[in-house]
Amino acid sequence: MPYYYKLGEIPHKRHTQFRKPDGGLYSEQLFSTEGFSNNYSLLYHINPPTLIIKTEKPVNLMPDIAEEKMLQHRSFEGFKVKPAKEFLESRVPVLVNNDVHIVLAAPQQGIKDYFYKNADADEMIFVHEGSGVLRTMYGELPFGYGDYLVIPRGTIYQVHFNDENNRLFIVESFSPIRPPQRYLSKYGQLLEHSPYCERDIRPPQNLQAQTERGDFMIKTKKRGILYNIHYAAHPFDVVGWDGFCYPFAFSIHDFEPITGRVHQPPPVHQTFEGNNFVVCSFVPRLFDYHPQSIPAPYNHSNIDSDELIYYVDGEFMSRKNVTRGMITLHPGGIPHGPHPGAVEKSIGAKETKELAVMVDTFHPLMITKQALEIENENYVMSWAE
């Protein structure tokens, strides 16, 4: 994120002696993105974070691709993904490419007996249903309905839910997830025209260094393979840290919509970006105020991007038969727009209560076998009058 934060105890100067009450040295760890050339944090551990005592046979988690190439509007009923008891087992990849994986999950319980680290990708977990606490080596992040949890790759975490009713929309990015560059000053501050600011970003809190020694398993994903690696010290043994690289929470309800006299294009809704994709938030807002305005979006051609929308809640005046948790995919190469009758129906409307997350990718998405199991096959014909 574009601002500096610190939590717990840290030494006055980096890379200098920082001693425990018993006189021993704390173990400093540099946690960085893109080598040593981008944002980083420095963490101070009670024990070295390298104490591996055992490894297990790896497990292949690579998505099972059903269709690599296609040119057809698609729709998937996300809430048809069946709940699964365990957090990692609940994660179902549905649309993927080399830049990003789109994952749905309905976990009934969080992570208790192990820790998880995605060493492949940053994660953006959108909480559609449920609440709880994300516990990390940086501290804790309480979360609830409408929260984006942005977790840098390599972050060790556990997630704890308050009950069994949870629905998550997850974006795994193989590049850092960041605010759009046009929202930032040359020094990294979110500018006045940005639809959110640093006050809306919730950094970790309640850092409590764990001192236990024993056998702590960290399930670590790298290149689509899950490795069970056992360590001799609790991974949350951090007494303090500072820097610019850390997990954070941001609520979609804190996104301030940008409106105009006529219909505004999707970039005004942009919230985050990565290499070759963007994330947008569609939130309740006033419609256009030109006397001849048409609130419904105009037909547009996806020439060089795939457009994915995850529908959260509210009424969607441009679409028929929208359900909670539905995903629509409009691939690059063919135009799409409002369903028949939606344009005339929208005229005179003053506001919308819709809530949705959009992901536009600039390389085509592939469809997994799990996605075919929840597909609405009639969607492609839904523009017929």
Determine whether the annotation assigns residue 101 to a binding site. Answer: no
- Nearest CA-CA partner of 318 in 302, 334, 340: 340
Tell me how crowded residue 274 is: count the other CB atoms within 10 A of its CB: 22
Dist. CA 44–CA 24, nearest whole Å: 13
Dist. CA 36–CA 120, nearest whole Å: 17
User: Which amino acid type is present at position 184?
Assistant: L
Q: What is the DSSP letter of 284?
A: -
Find tokens 């006045």 and name the residue: 192
Alpha-carbon torsion (266, 268, 272, 275), positive or negative: positive
User: Which amino acid type is present at position 7?
Assistant: L
Dist. CA 235–CA 38, nearest whole Å: 24
| 263 catalytically annotated | yes
Burial status of residue 242 (CB atoms within 10 A of its CB: 0-12, 13-18, 19 or more): middle
Q: Cβ distance 8 to 241 under 8 Å?
A: yes
Marked catalytic residue, from 160, 230, 253, 263:
263
Q: Cβ distance 359 to 277 under 8 Å?
A: yes
Q: Residue length, the chain?
A: 385
Determine whether the annotation assigns residue 336 to a binding site. Answer: yes
Residues with Cβ within 8 Å of 48's Cβ and at least 6 positions away in sequence, in order, are 27, 233
Determine whether the annotation assigns residue 160 to a binding site. Answer: no
Q: What is the DSSP letter of 182?
A: G
Catalytic site positions: 263
- Known binding site for Fe cation: residues? 300, 306, 336
